[in-house]
Amino acid sequence: MTAASPEHEPARRATIADIALRVGVTKGAVSYALNGKPGVSAETRRRVLEVARELDWVPSSAARMLAGNRTSTVGLALTRRPETLGDEPFFMGFVAGLEAALQPRGYGLLLQVPTHAEAELETYRAWAGERRVDGVVVLDPVRADPRPDALRALGLPGVVVGQARPGEGLAGVVTDDAAVMNAVVDHLADLGHTRVARVAGPAHLLHTGRRDRAFTAACRRRGLEARTVHADYSGDQGAEATAALVGTAGGAPRPTAVVYDNDLMAVAGLSWLAGTGLRVPEDVSLVAWDDSATCRATHPALTATGHDVVAFGRAAAEALFRLLDDDRATSTTTTPELRVRASTAQAPSTTAGARP
């Protein structure tokens, strides 16, 4: 696993006090100048605006709300290929949770699907410039993520899903990946598995890094051999990763259990194994991350980690409302559970485990 770097430290946001100190006037005078109110000279107003630009000053979320700029809209930009949105049940459940919290407040959801990271940043700039949203929900934080600083620079409140403390002016909602990963590894170890593999998501995602570290630590704690490969969450790469891990050439011992970072890759792995004649769970046990109806519909049904995704989306919206209403950035953590089904069983014998 490529270890995640420490979370990006955001630059401190300039304040009215900083402008007042630089110009040599009171904070009240700065406020009057910034808001176009009478009571300050034209020269003072010019100097205040000039310094505000130099310091990249933007109004706080609270100030924007007090100024009456509410749009009753929350933005969600999902950077991925539009045709893949329907492949992962997580997103539909998450959006349903957002809507469940937004509708009682009279809010709507503005959804856009940028195809790359810079397009997502451009989406935020457009939303802020046109005052189209009151705040945004950010998914899939990455190492050295430019989005938190960009939102601060735009004065756009946001909640980052997948990062507990994204920095000043932003709320965070995250799952306790370490706790549920420990439960997964303990379950497999208790079944006698000693060689466990993992098909992880993209290495640059923060939550992938957390899960990778938790997987390695849990396997070390239980004395298990561990191996991780990274994929892009698609079924194609899930099958390819399964082949790379389980289809070991030369008679080398193969893993007897595989943990997948989403349901789609797990189902693809199950299909690939069936095509080779390897049986689940008699020869290989499988565990999926993010339980879904798909996990329950396979044969055998997939053991999976799961949590209430709708409630998770609702928690993200509620964290954003706390930021909008009270200018209070909070951190919310939820803990998934392990749901044991028929795809995990006692490890095969040593002889069977050595079969390529």
Q: By CB neighbour count within 10 A (0-12 exposed, 13-18 middle, 19+ buried), where does 127 fall?
A: buried
> 137 in a domain, yes or no?
no
> 197 in a domain, yes or no?
yes
| Full domain range(s) for residue 46 | 7-57
| Domain final residue, candidates 35, 57, 79 | 57
Calpha distance 336→289 (Å, rounded)? 10
pLDDT at 69 (0 to 100): 61
Its pTM stands at: 0.77
Calpha distance 238→201 (Å, rounded)? 10
**Closest to 289 in 3D by CA, of 327, 251, 261:** 261
> 267 in a domain, yes or no?
yes
205 plus 342 within the same structural domain? yes
> 240 in a domain, yes or no?
yes
| Domain final residue, candidates 16, 34, 57 | 57
> 182 in a domain, yes or no?
yes
| pLDDT one-digit tens code per residue, 180-229 | 999 999 999 999 999 999 999 999 999 999 999 999 999 999 999 999 99
347 plus 198 within the same structural domain? yes
**Tokens for 101?**
């919290």
pLDDT at 172 (0 to 100): 96
> 53 in a domain, yes or no?
yes
pLDDT at 12 (0 to 100): 64
For residue 51, what is the domain's CATH number? Answer: 1.10.260.40
Number of domains in the chain: 2
Phi first, then psi: what are they for 337, rounded to 5°? -125, 160
| pLDDT one-digit tens code per residue, 33-45 | 776 666 778 888 8
> 188 in a domain, yes or no?
yes
pLDDT at 249 (0 to 100): 53
pLDDT at 8 (0 to 100): 47
Calpha distance 349→330 (Å, rounded)? 49
For residue 247, what is the domain's CATH number? Answer: 3.40.50.2300
192 plus 50 within the same structural domain? no
pLDDT at 111 (0 to 100): 95
- What stretches in the chain show pLDDT beneath 70? 1-12, 35-38, 59-69, 83-85, 248-251, 350-356
> 106 in a domain, yes or no?
no
